[in-house]
Structure 1
């Protein structure tokens, strides 16, 4: 039953590809069924094929996962209703596949299965980023894909070292027995590169800035936080020396990305660099107060996601993202107050 949370969007994504005239209906049904199962499923763990957790692939469904998935799917549904007239059935087939892979990612408790879902989400994001085949967007998507390839290879090297030591890919078992520091260094390097932190993630500004409408909110709202969620899962076994290093790294990257944020004239690039700053804050939260991190995910997903939606609407109306060129342009009063409220609320938790 747990697997249905991931299989329903993936299955309907395939159906959407073949029944293009029923795209909106199929996407809506997919979300309704996903919400239904998220509501009625009981908490617990499940191993595919009834193997032991050490040999099989374990999935976990608890209150935290339920909380994250309900709100992520709600955010994804809101984004869908904003753009359902903009794209064809192939786009939304990929959209549902991405939703299913993210659902599966949050429930996975096997190092390699986490990699599979993260890699699938990366490939689908790459395809969605440049869906209109614009040359600039294609190059931004390629940069994202190449950095993803490098970062996930580091992750896999670390996972291979773990497997050679413990004989299992089960995350909970490896945590309970302590993770090799050498393996940890490879895993963390990959995750920090993938997670949008300054110095390591040169892909993020261009990807966020050039993405087609509807993709930037998902990319900033959830995709960049997936690697940090893995660090959140690993934090109980993180050696103290690595915690100290990561804390100083987070502080330095937050300061540097904040400075770069202030230098931007492109409204979407401004928010992209601020996302890098907020990923550093997210890392600090994991190190200082891990139980608060799932709430950070949700809060940042809605606030920054909605801000990117507003930026997309402004660009669509005015034909420019340049803040200097937008000076003097008129926006509706409700849009202004909504943007001001979101930016103000975001500053209270994670200063821009």
Structure 2
């Protein structure tokens, strides 16, 4: 496969030669947990960053990366834009994250772990950073964790507060979704850094982690990593409310090749619908050395989603 690196003022562009398979779209470094947003006709893709060795038996993820494209073919690597070290209360690795824009600011919701201190005895936690640009610089917007382990009690394990997803409804109300083992939902205040009410607990069919929530033509969609036969796959549910109840709709995507996990990121961009995910297909890749890929997603007339086909070819360039 021919890959050209074209230097730019911000980083480099990964140009995938025509006639060659596109997926994974990011060949280097290893990336996972894709979270796309669109701003000013540019698609920005936020990812976690796998740095584990080939022999490693666990995740090693030290920071969050940002990529961008205007044609779904050439991806500019803007490098790391945030790390757990940027949060005084945080420790450990940089797990899945998502960015949401509101009133000209960009809020970067991250999952990592909390230091043992007077507020928490440790465990997974969710923080939020803010910037005036999708490329940062980002800084801790709160000075403390938004969610920490002691705030949720429905699961006994210490890593249930991960994988944040934020959705702002048409009426301006923002919601935070997250969880491992159960789906947790809470309203956010207009400032996007404070909770606005009690946490709600749900158990969508086969839910494991990685929720992604959005709205299309009056239907709310909850897409998530679920219990596959041997590895995670993607399933989804719908509702007429951003807080459910969620009606199970079925399997959206099968397990990713050579990776135990799979993580959804869904976006409409320039008239087409895209499904981002990660797999472990690159040389020396695997469950702890993953790579982001993208394929098309198609809706039926009733709003249900056709099953996504994971392909080597990926998607076509936008002219």
- TM-score normalized by structure 2? 0.31
Q: Which protein shows a greater Rg?
A: 1
Tell me which protein shows more strand as a share of its residues.
2
Tell me which protein shows more helix as a share of its residues.
1
